[in-house]
Amino acid sequence: MRHIRYTINVLVTAIAMASTPIALATQALTQEVTIGATLQEHNNYGGCMVRINPAPSDAMLDGSFLNCPTGDSFVSFDCLNKSGQVSKNTAVQMFQTAQLALVTGKKVQFVLDDEVKLDGWCLARRVDLMR
């Protein structure tokens, strides 16, 4: 009788765990994207942004969906450190890498974070310049 109860408890627990929704990742790696424009601003958007193509929600490598705006496809580096998530130096270096990609026509990959937004735009936590 104890074995039957144990088996039932295990099955109920397994079914409950299987039916629990999986939380969407808040950070994800993009496929290779192109930089279409850069933006620098003294107070808004974290100070520096780039427009990427394809848009963040279409560019996710693993098919995940990030809650990033798609209208103008911008992502912020937070060069002003408004979020406190990335140092100014690191943000500026990532922005410079994106500028290099724009000038040379190279593609980049980003790790984007949709929980940290600057004036509504998702934060770039990493940028990789592709060969």
What contacts 24+ positions apart, CB below 8 Å, involve 97-102?
97/127, 97/129, 98/35, 98/38, 98/50, 98/127, 99/35, 99/38, 100/129, 101/34, 101/35, 101/129, 102/35, 102/36, 102/37, 102/38, 102/50
Q: Where do the structural domains in the chain lie, given as residue ranges? A: 26-129
pLDDT digit string (tens) for 24-73?
558 877 888 999 999 999 999 999 999 999 888 776 766 667 788 777 78
pTM, two decimals, is 0.76
pLDDT at 62: 67
- Whether domain 26-129 has CATH 2.40.50: yes
